[in-house]
Structures are given as structure tokens and as C-alpha cells.
Amino acid sequence: MEESKRVEEMNYFELIAWLGIGSSHPGGFPATKQNLGIIRVKPEEYVLDAGCGSGLTACYLAKTIGCKIVGIDINSQMVKKAALRAEKEGVSHLVEFRVADVHALPFSKNTFDLVIAESITVFLDKAKVYQEIYRVIKPEGRVADLEMALIKELPANLRRQLEDCFGSGTNPLLFEEWREAMTQAGFQDVEIKNAQPLTNRGNIILNELKKDWLLIKDLTEKVSRQPGLLPRLQKNAAFMKRYQGYFGFGLFYGRKPTPQRMGIRDWIQRIVRKKI
Ligand SMILES: C[S@@+](CC[C@H](N)C(=O)[O-])C[C@H]1O[C@@H](n2cnc3c(N)ncnc32)[C@H](O)[C@@H]1O
């Protein structure tokens, strides 16, 4: 992010990239750790972190499990910070970060054993994202997406305020709708794990951020250089606090099925369908 861009002009992704926030998802890094306890990544698995941000989760996985990971993010600032983190944490040999769009992933089909995502699908077209993730996962591979979810329908005026805080297109689904979106893309046995309300421990995110060396390094200086920063962060926090009763989050966890083997009857049906 160029120094000249004002906080007021940055979109939400540019803002968190500029801040270098490492765990910008509901529940923060503690939720990531809980989810990883459920997912149980194996050292031999090849993992994609879709929308990896500044790479905190990917580097943690590499350090603790020793698996190979690719992190992609559309924001080049994020990717630079993630690569720096990997270097500083001594895991560059395991983690690779690339600029890429989750709607058109630069990987062949059936590449990954596991795709993790944390607070990215909520901002995007769910069907397109899940179809693309499905494509790059191997049969029997897993998808694990931590997203904000609605506990009850959000009135239109609050939807507008939410978009005002986090950007247009921000669209959390009800818990069951998330499960349905994943199922529609072809995933099987989709489960909702670790579902919880967004409590005022939402500040847990800020607390975690304070422990993140990458962020705290220059936060004070950024606040003094950009007077609009604190009011903007406070506005988002105040909205979430006031309407927290609407919001929760959970891990949406599914599996890509093994392709059905085609029998002679399937071949005949396919030929007949083509001729009609
Ligand atoms: C709320 S942040 C979450 C980052 C990270 N997963 C985390 O939990 O800290 C959302 C991230 O998604 C990235 N993003 C947004 N749209 C994207 C897209 N179309 N393809 C890839 N990344 C995208 C943003 O740049 C941002 O880093």
C-alpha cells in the first residue's frame, strides 16, 4: 500500500493489508487453533490456504506440522508480508505465497489434499469460490472454511451498514445456508464445526493482533500518520458490538467425493443423451 493512500480511501482488504493483520477473521487465531485441532493436517498433505492474508495460519501449519503449503491472496501487499513472515519464521522451504484470485486458481484440478480458507468467501460469490476450490481438491480431499455466519436474518438496513464497514459484497449466510452452498458445489458430508456466537470477546482479535510482531511493529506510527485510522477501526468495532446478536461463526467442513466409476449402462446413457 503506497504511503500516499489515505485510510478513508482504502477498501477493507487494503486496510488490513496495510496494517499487516495476521488473523483477520472471526474468533482470531484461537479459533484457527481450535479448527486445526479438528482438521488434523498430516505432514504428507499438500495444503492450499485460499485468501491467506499475511500468512499467519500457513506459517503456523508449516512450523507445527511440517506440511507443504501454498498461500494465495489477491492483494500483493499481503503476499509480500506473508513471504517475509515465512522467511523470518524459517519455513520458506515449506510455504510458498503467490498473488492469485480464488475465482481462477492457477493450479490443475485434483492438486490439493486440503484447502483451508478463513474469512474470504463471505466477501465473494460463494458458488464460484466453492466450485473453484472443488476443482483443485483431490478426490477424498477436504475443504475447511471458517466464515462469519448469521444466527438470524439480518435486516436490510444492517446489511447496508455491514457493507459500509467491510466493503460492498460482504454477505454472511445463515449457518445452514453455508452448509448448503458447499453441498451445492459438490462437497459431501458437509458439517458445521466449532459454531459459536460472536461475543464481545471479539476484542480477542485485537488482543491477538497485539501479540503479532508484524503488526505491532509500526502500529503506533501508523496511527499518528493517519488520524483516520482509529475512528475507522472504532466504527467497525462499534457496529459489531452493537449488533453482535446477529453474528456467529463456524467452520464449514466438507469432503470431495471419489468419482463414481462409469459402468456400461452409464456409457450407453451418455451416448444416448448426446444423440438426442
Ligand atoms: C478478511 S481477510 C482474511 C485473511 C486471512 N485468511 C486471515 O484470516 O487473516 C480476506 C482476505 O481475502 C483476500 N481476498 C479477497 N478477495 C480475494 C480473491 N478474489 N482472491 C484471493 N484473495 C482474496 C484479501 O486480500 C484478504 O487478504
pLDDT digits (tens, 9 = 90+) for 223-240: 888 989 888 888 888 899
The domain segmentation of the chain, as residue ranges, is 7-275
Q: Give CA–CA dist 191/231, Å, rounded.
A: 38
- Ligand 1 center–CA 99 separation, angstroms: 11
Question: What separation in Å is there between the alpha carbon of 42 and the centre of ligand 1?
Answer: 24
For residue 201, the model assigns a pLDDT of: 56
Query: Measured from the CA of 117, which atom of ligand 1 is nearest?
Result: 6
Confidence category of residue 22, pLDDT binned at 50, 70, 90 = confident
Take atom 27 of ligand 1 and give the residue whose Cα is closest.
53
For residue 237, the model assigns a pLDDT of 85
The model's pLDDT over 144-158, given as tens digits with 9 standing for 90+, comes to 999 999 999 999 999
C-alpha cell at 2: 503506497
Please tell me the distance from the alpha carbon of residue 181 to that of residue 209, in angstroms, as a whole number.
31
- Answer whether 229 contacts ligand 1 (Cβ < 6 A): no
Identify which of 1, 10, 11, 13 to mutate to test ligand 1's pocket (most ligand atoms within 8 A of the CB).
13
Give 7-275's CATH code, choosing from 3.40.1160.10, 3.40.50.150, 3.30.70.270, 2.40.128.50. Answer: 3.40.50.150
pLDDT at 214: 56
Whole-angstrom Cα distance, residue 13 to residue 226? 17
CA nearest to 122, candidates 184, 55, 72, 50: 50
More confident residue, 88 or 4: 88
Mean pLDDT of 238-265: 90
The answer to whether 175 and 162 are in contact (CB under 8 A) is: no
C-beta 215 within 6 A of ligand 1 = no
Q: Quote the CA–CA distance of 147 and 137 in Å, as a whole number.
A: 19
More confident residue, 200 or 137: 137
Provide mean pLDDT across the span 86-101. Answer: 98
33: pLDDT strictly greater than 60: yes
- Residue closest via CA to ligand 1's atom 10 equals 120
pLDDT of res. 204 = 45
Mean pLDDT across the chain, nearest whole number?
Answer: 90
pLDDT of residue 212: 60
- Tens of pLDDT, residue by residue over 192-226, are 999 999 886 545 445 555 666 556 667 778 888 89
Structure pTM?
A: 0.90
Question: For the stretch 91-123, what's the b/e string if a residue is b when 16 or more beta carbons lie within 10 angstroms of its beta carbon?
Answer: bbebbebbebebeebebeeebbbbbbbbbbbbb
Q: Tell me how far the alpha carbon of residue 76 lies from the centroid of ligand 1, in angstroms.
A: 11
Nearest CA to ligand 1 atom 19: 101
How confident is the model over 166-184, as pLDDT tens digits? 999 999 999 999 999 999 9
Ligand 1 centroid–CA 104 distance in Å is 14
The reply to whether ligand 1 has any atom less than 6 angstroms from the CB of 106 is no
Q: What is the mean pLDDT of residues 87-103?
A: 98
Strand ranges, E, within 106-261 = 112-118, 137-150, 173-174, 188-197, 247-255
Residue nearest to ligand 1 atom 25, measured at CA = 75
Task: List, in order, residues 6 or more apart from 217 with CB less than 8 Å away.
Answer: 20
Ligand 1: centre distance to CA 75 (Å): 8
Non-local (6+) Cβ contacts of 264 within 8 A are none
Among the ranges given (94-98, 119-123, 126-130, 201-205), the one the predictor scored with the smallest mean pLDDT: 201-205
